[in-house]
Amino acid sequence: MTPESVMTLGRDAMEITLLVAAPVLLVILAIGLVVSIFQAATQINEATLSFIPKLVGVFVTLVFAGQWMLTTMVDYMHLVFTSIPAMAS
């Protein structure tokens, strides 16, 4: 196993991780921004106010993007496991 193959494997793993986590993180970011603007406009300073919308947003995101996220991860793991014999030699 060469240092280049290790670096490529690590880079690919980080790219897949960011790609899979991005939809959920972007939804949480957008909901947090909207709730914080609402809190600033109404001067309601309740920390739990943003929890339920974020939870619902994550659930909806996983319903719509979950299959794609799972397929992406399974495809990557299939690639990693099938490339193990080539990396061992």
Buried-state track 33-66, b at ≥16 Cβ within 10 A, e below 16: eebeeeeeeeeeeeeeebeebbeebbeebeeebe
User: Residues 16-62: pLDDT tens digits?
Assistant: 999 999 999 999 999 999 999 999 999 888 888 889 999 999 999 99
Quick one: average pLDDT of 53-74?
A: 96
pLDDT at res. 20: 96
> Domain total for the chain?
1
pLDDT at res. 83: 87
Identify the domain containing residue 24 by its residue range. Answer: 3-88
pLDDT bin (cut points 50, 70, 90) of residue 76 is very high
Global pTM exceeds 0.75: yes
